[in-house]
Amino acid sequence: MIEVIQGTRDMVAGLEPELRPGRFVFCQSPHETWWDLKPIAMFQESEGVSLILEEGRACAAGIASHDVMGLITLNVYSALTGVGLTASVSSALAAAGIACNMVAALSHDHVFVPYERTEEALAILRKLQASVP
């Protein structure tokens, strides 16, 4: 069992993880009009614009992608300056051998996990939430 890092108990107790429908991919866009692809997230890297797209949009645009991911939203307000939530979540998933990619947005954190392990990851996060007294 993963011990919840001191100072994050309220955030972990309020996780309320929710599976978002769809299949998602991380990719780089060769398109100058990447916004037309309606990414759910983007980040400007030195190699180009990295996007998180619904798998169907990437395929339709002919963009190569790997590793189809499921998306779990943590429906707890997590301050950008909060400490330990990412570590608690990623440690719980790592203990089960589940890779995760965390994306922190303004109001919530989002966890991308291999699509075929999404339900398992969701169960682990619910168990993590329930473990906080």
Q: Are the C-beta atoms of residues 103 and 59 closer than 8 Å to each other?
A: no
**Considering the domain boundaries, does residue 121 fall inside one?**
yes
CA angle (128 as vertex; 19, 2 as ends), nearest 5: 135
What is the predicted pLDDT for the residue at 79? 64
pTM greater than 0.75 (yes/no): yes
Amino acid at 106: L
Give the ranges where the chain is alpha helix by DSSP (H).
Answer: 9-13, 55-60, 85-95, 118-130
What tens-digit pLDDT sequence spans the chain (133 residues)? Answer: 444 444 577 788 788 899 999 999 999 876 677 778 889 999 988 888 889 999 999 999 888 888 999 999 998 877 666 667 888 899 999 999 999 999 988 888 899 999 999 999 999 999 999 988 7
The structural domain count of the chain equals 1
**Considering the domain boundaries, does residue 3 fall inside one?**
no
- The C-alpha atoms of residue 81 and residue 51 are separated, in whole angstroms, by 24
- The C-alpha atoms of residue 118 and residue 46 are separated, in whole angstroms, by 30
What are the Cα distances from residue 105, in Å, to 33, 108, 111?
23, 6, 11
Q: Are the C-beta atoms of residues 110 and 70 closer than 8 Å to each other?
A: no
CATH code, 117: 3.30.2130.10
What's the domain range around 97? Answer: 9-130
